Structure 1
């Protein structure tokens, strides 16, 4: 549990501190922000859960959640809304945006902790593969898409699979035979030269990150992260 990081976003500073204290007692690592704008300046990908107030200053919680759900790197982060807006329409809006839970104010700390544990447990049970990332280059293994920042890379199926293989094992050298056996599984006759051609094209398509796909003469290829 100590590995879970939670961000509490609420314009009520006292409430932030109360939640922070009680969640830390439960073993979570907790940070706070007093506005959506402040939260968006933080490295949100580090967090396993957001507790997000709806009624805040210029940007409300619904708007912030909508932005996160449109961001490939951040859309997987569970969100629990904390709010005094508890009409059925408000709750439906929250869930339509992609909320994982919705807690109406006033609430008990025990209820919040129970809901936090339930959402984190459900999140941990999801068997979706993790997004692979190196700096601004990342791969969504579910949708089979690769990006630099928000720009999708025009990779072929084989190029995507080579990049996924190398990026998921940084520093590990794969021989041409290993790459062939893992990626060209259904094809009987494939030349080693085919690997080289695909690697060359892949390097060009990933731009500045192409230099991280390194040739180890006599051995094969690897993705170096330094």
Structure 2
């Protein structure tokens, strides 16, 4: 049993139940809604994937998807459209709305299950890759991809050198780096850099990260480290 929760939205109740039965046999947690309006009454944010029919009652699957993608809390939830509409324009419309896949009726249940598995696996891998670019310590986050540091979700403006020093120390929590090591790693392409330059950058960095400044510890005669147990 896995923890993925899927919502199937289709005005064909029999089809909803067939999809629900087969997806649950694969270990997914599945809910159904027989209209877009009914789906909007649910907490969409709890789902890892949405299977949406396009042609439904008053509100279409396209309109439902548009609403979902405009909300910050649900915009990243992957969507697969399941529909009898199979024209190129319809597919382009779906993808432009943020759909991740498009399955045309009639379809085989094996195809639906295979595409669901593939999409959830890709989303999971993307999430893991994104997490690997983040370093966190309590309420402080260092984003290597965006080169940003935030504390309590508020961005802290750092210079390039300050950012690189923080990342070096935090990524090697507890390890002491001598001034020579920091110079070699951070100022490796610069010829004339004084030890005092490192001290100045460390002092500024401590002030900027506020309460976490005390975690950057000076080991007299040795260098600097980031202590995670402070």
User: Taking structure 1 as the reference length, what is the TM-score of the superposition?
Assistant: 0.62
Q: Report what 1:81 is aligned to.
A: 80
Q: Deviations over 1:40-83 (max 9, x none)?
A: 3x6x9xxxxx312457x9x9444444545xx9xx98x7824345
Q: Report what 1:38 is aligned to.
A: 43
Unaligned runs of 5+ in 2: 11-15, 33-38, 54-58
- In the alignment, is the contact (CA less than 8 A) between 2:216 and 2:224 conserved in 1? no
| Larger CA Rg, structure 1 vs 2 | 2
Q: Report what 2:202 is aligned to.
A: 199
Unaligned runs of 5+ in 1: 25-29, 45-49
After superposing the two structures, state which structure 1 stretch, 84-93 or 94-103, moved more. Answer: 84-93
- In the alignment, is the contact (CA less than 8 A) between 2:82 and 2:105 conserved in 1? yes
Change in Cα spacing, 1:151 to 1:126, as seen in structure 2 (3 Å) is closer
CA–CA distance in structure 2, aligned partners of residues 170 and 94 of structure 1:
46
1:148 partnered with 2:151:
yes
Shift of 1:158: 0.8
CA–CA distance in structure 2, aligned partners of residues 138 and 66 of structure 1:
26
Q: Report what 2:110 is aligned to.
A: 110
CA–CA distance in structure 1, aligned partners of residues 146 and 98 of structure 2:
18
What is the SS of the residue equivalent to 2:188?
coil
Shift of 1:157: 0.8
1:139 partnered with 2:142:
yes
Change in Cα spacing, 1:51 to 1:210, as seen in structure 2 (3 Å) is same
What is the SS of the residue equivalent to 1:221?
strand
Correspondences of 1:36-185 after superposition (within 5 Å) = 38-40=43-45, 50-54=48-52, 60-67=64-71, 79-84=78-83, 91-96=91-96, 98-103=98-103, 108-119=108-119, 120=121, 124=125, 130-134=132-136, 135-185=138-188
Change in Cα spacing, 1:16 to 1:124, as seen in structure 2 (3 Å) is same
Aligned residues: 205
